Structure formats: C-alpha cells, structure tokens
Amino acid sequence: MSLLNLKPINKDRTLRANVVEQLREAIISGELAPGTKLVESQLSALLGVSRGPLREAIRQLVDQGLIESIPYTGTYVANITVKAIQELYSFRTELEQFAFKLVWENRGEDFRKELNSQLEKLTAAIKSNNKEAAIFEELELHNVVYKHCGHELLQDSWHRLRGRLHLYFTLHQQAHNRTGPYIDAHDKYVTLALGDDLDAMLNHVTEHMQQGYNKVENLVSDIRSHLP
Amino acid sequence: MSLLNLKPINKDRTLRANVVEQLREAIISGELAPGTKLVESQLSALLGVSRGPLREAIRQLVDQGLIESIPYTGTYVANITVKAIQELYSFRTELEQFAFKLVWENRGEDFRKELNSQLEKLTAAIKSNNKEAAIFEELELHNVVYKHCGHELLQDSWHRLRGRLHLYFTLHQQAHNRTGPYIDAHDKYVTLALGDDLDAMLNHVTEHMQQGYNKVENLVSDIRSHLP
DNA sequence: AACGGTATGATTGTTGACAATCATACCGCT
DNA sequence: AGCGGTATGATTGTCAACAATCATACCGTT
C-alpha cells in the first residue's frame, strides 16, 4: 500500500457547515458588501435552511471576523476600516515570518514542488486576466508555506486572516479593476523561499507585505467613492 | 467631566454569552476534565437553558479551541497533547514578542503603573498560596502588555490562547499541587519590560516561555498517571 | 472464534412557533 | 421647531418537538 495518500474525509456535511461555506464565499467575493445587514429570516429563506443552523453558522463567521453581531439588534457583514487593514497586514507579517522560521529546515522536495506549481497557477491566472482566480491562487501560494509548517495553531490563525484578506483583495480589484504587478513580486518571493538565506526571506516578507498594504491602504476611501 | 472613565457596557446579556462564560470557566478550572463528553441534553438541563443557545455557545468554544466537536457523534472537552502544548508555547512566544515590539515606544505612565500593580497582585496571590488566583493574575500580568498594544487582532489572538493556557496551568497545578518558582521569574520580566533594552526583553520572552513550557511539558503523562 | 449484517437506543441536527428586545415613527408638550 | 414619551412593527433570542445519524449490542453465518 504505497499509495496511501488519502485525505481525511470531510464528515462535516451538516447544514451549518454548508451555510458557513456559502456565506463565506458570498462575502469574500464581494457579493455581500461590507456593512450589509444580514436578516436571519431572509437569509434562511434564501438558503432554504431554518434559522437554527444559520445562527450557528453566523456565530462561526463572527469568530472569523467576517461578520459583526450586535445582540438583539442585527448582524452585519464586517466593515472595512484603515485600522483593520493595518492590523491585518502587520499581524500577517509576523505570522508569515514565523512560518518561514518553522519551515526553513524542513523544506523538502514536496515543498519545492508545491511552491513552484502554485506559482505557475498564479502566473497563469494573472496572464489569462482571470482576476478572481488570481486572488485565490495568490492566497494558495502563501498557504503552501503555512501548510508545510505542521503547526496547527499557526495554520488556524492564518485561515482566520485569509478570509478577510481575500475580501480586501476582492474589494481592491473591484475598485480599480486591474490586477496589478503581481508576477515579479511573487517570482522573487518563491526564489527566496527556495533559497538559502533565511534572513533575506524574512526581510522580503516584510517588504512584500508592505507592498500589499500600500496597495489596499486607500481601500476605505476608494470604496466610499465607488459605492456611495 | 474628568472622571469619564466608564467601560463600555456589556450589552451581550444573551443566554448564549452566559453559557459561554460558564462553560469556559468550568473547563479552565478543571471542573470539566479534558476528554469529557458533553451531552447537550444534560448540559442544557444542568444550566437551565434550552439546547439552542447552548449549541451556539459550543460553536464559540470550539473556535476557541476549548471544545472539539464531531458532527452527529459528540462534543468533548479538548484533549491535551504534547504537540498542542508545544504549539501553544511557540506561538505564544511570537505573539508576545510582537506585542513588545508594538508597545515599546508607546509605554506610558499608565502602562508602567498597571504592570507594577499587576505584579503586586500576582506576588500577593502566590505568597498567600492562593493557586487559582495566582494563575489568573499571571495571565493578567501578560494581558497588560497585549492590552496596551492597541492591536485588536493581536488581542483577540491572545485571548484565544489564554483559555487553553489557563487550562494547562490549572492541570499542572492540580497534578503537582505546587505553584512553582514564579515570583523571581516575573520580577525580572517586569523589570525588563519597563527597561530600555528591547532585545533583552525579546530574548527574555523566549526564555520565559521556554521555562513555562518545561514546566508543563510532562503534563500529558502526568495527567494520565494521576487520573487513570 | 471471527466476521458481516442488522436492530436498537441514544445523541446530534433541524425545524417552526413563541417571547424578549430594539428601532422607527408618531404624538403631544414646551 | 425641538424635545420627551409612547405605540408599533420588525428582528433577534429562545424554546420544545421531530428527523437524521451514529455507536453498541446482538445474531447468524462461515
């Protein structure tokens, strides 16, 4: 049995899990704009689900920072603020540096393969001008690093950020309708990630994040001007 | 109105919030041992609450890592593993170093006061041999740092770890029935935190965490031998 | 005895109805 | 007009009953 490469089956086929997935998708794709009020009765009808599982799903998304809830008043798609963006990027910098420190001595052939393969997918998506895919593949590229750390807590933490990050990317893309100069940046990222200089990589992470931050920095005002 | 020092009122007086609080308290105090199966009908009867809010509370505690849930099968108080402890401590090291980097240039008089006052409380609790209080005050001491960062994401992340950390401390204390040499360690911690050498502080955090880790390292086997 | 299949009981998942709470609009007063 | 108070409608919070799923024990077969 050398082909014992089976993924753990997802037994979580509860309604709640499906609702989480659907809502998450709707939010990070921009379909549900930030600040939108989520009325339980409407949503439950829309999803063909009772309010019970819906509420449980909402609780989960609140913990992921995608939804804000005020008791007896309402639940809203998380609003975007400058501070939230700053925090996300500074925090993410620390997380990713930690990830590289962890993975550095354990980078094997599979790590290298996955990273390169993911870079190709990202490049292809950008070249074909498929913006949604480009966003997804960029996040997947970074995800490779976290996945190979073998650090569940770190991975969970990253997954928590990922949703909001995805949302910011989407909103930025919708506001400017251009993908930006991603390719070169990620070429260097991967090269360094497969190289021998950890410090150089860590510095590049800081720099890489700073670039990303600069891109979405004006998101708040951009959005206000685009969707008045 | 110079005495405008009012805390934001907690409008979250829903049953769900109360249940979260109660369950969290019961778990981190060791009242509900790790691995305990939580049967919804029993719990809801015990708490005098219906299963609806209880289930929502469980969802929240699952996200905090204090409860594990397997669909259609059962929910259990999170089990303790060596890997989980390692991850918690390594992750916490990064978090706290990040916190000090953030707070360093913004340490004001209030920061210093709170830190000292909290150290006194911790010392008092240890000297009076009040073990539960000592654990709480130690966590509160570290909490001061996170609180003054003004970084919500970091604070949320810390709060997520705090519950599990509290649990580990409690179990360690119950297994060995001694508080350990906390005082000196935290004296130095506070001294450095109020000093001028950030690098020294960061190094001490690593060291401090390592000490903490060493203490709870054998928790898994300890527990197995104490509660067979 | 070991294995495969099946019935049973318990537990979780889900639902629709009911109660508590809040935001809005309206009215009267100053 | 501006302010305070009150009724109303909508929405969230909560509950108790029903359905789906799973773990266990039992039984027959090989």
Does the distance separating the beta carbons of A90 and B151 come in below 8 Å?
yes
Smallest CA–CA distance from B102 into chain A, residue? A90
If we measure between CA atoms, which residue out of A121, A93, A110, A113 comes closest to residue A204? A93
A15-77 and A82-226 in the same fold: no
- Classify A15-77 by CATH class: mainly alpha
| Residues 199-218 (A) near nucleic chain D, CB < 7 A | none
Taking contacts as CB-CB distances below 8 angstroms, the residues of chain A near B8 are: none
What is the Cα gyration radius of chain B?
19
Residue spans per domain, chain B: 15-77, 82-226
For range A26-44, the mean pLDDT:
92
Maximum distance among all Cα pairs of chain A, rounded to whole angstroms: 60
Distance, Å, B40 CA → D15 C1': 14
Identify the CATH number of the domain defined by range B82-226.
1.20.120.530
Position B181 scores a pLDDT of 53
Which structure tokens are listed for B147?
A: 């609180």
The shortest CB-CB distance from B87 to any of A14, A64, A152 is to A152
A195 Cα to chain B: minimum distance (Å): 24
Query: What number of residues does chain B have?
Result: 228
Question: pLDDT: is B31 or A8 the higher one?
Answer: B31
Q: Quick: pLDDT tens for A150-206.
A: 999 999 999 999 999 999 999 988 888 765 556 778 999 999 999 999 999 999 999
Strand C lies under 7 A from the Cβ of residue A73: yes
How do B67-70 and A37-38 pair as beta strands?
Answer: unpaired
Hey, is the C-beta of B153 within 8 angstroms of any chain A C-beta?
yes
B90 Cα to chain A: minimum distance (Å): 9
pLDDT digits (tens), chain B, 228 positions: 444 455 555 656 788 888 999 999 999 999 999 999 999 989 988 888 889 889 999 999 999 999 999 988 999 999 988 899 999 999 999 999 999 999 999 999 999 999 999 999 999 999 998 999 999 999 999 999 999 999 999 999 999 999 999 999 999 888 887 655 567 789 999 999 999 999 999 999 999 899 888 877 777 666 665 544
Residue with tokens 């990050």: A165
Does the distance separating the beta carbons of B60 and A55 come in below 8 Å?
no
Question: Could you give phi then psi for residue B144, rounded to 5 degrees?
Answer: -55, -45
DSSP for chain A, written as a single string: -TT--PPPP----SHHHHHHHHHHHHHHTTSS-TT-EE-HHHHHHHHT--HHHHHHHHHHHHHTTSEEEETTTEEEEPPP-HHHHHHHHHHHHHHHHHHHHHHGGG--HHHHHHHHHHHHHHHHHHHTT-HHHHHHHHHHHHHHHHHTTT-HHHHHHHHHHHHHHHHHHHHHHHHH----SHHHHHHHHHHHHTSS-HHHHHHHHHHHHHHHHHHHTTHHHHHHHH--
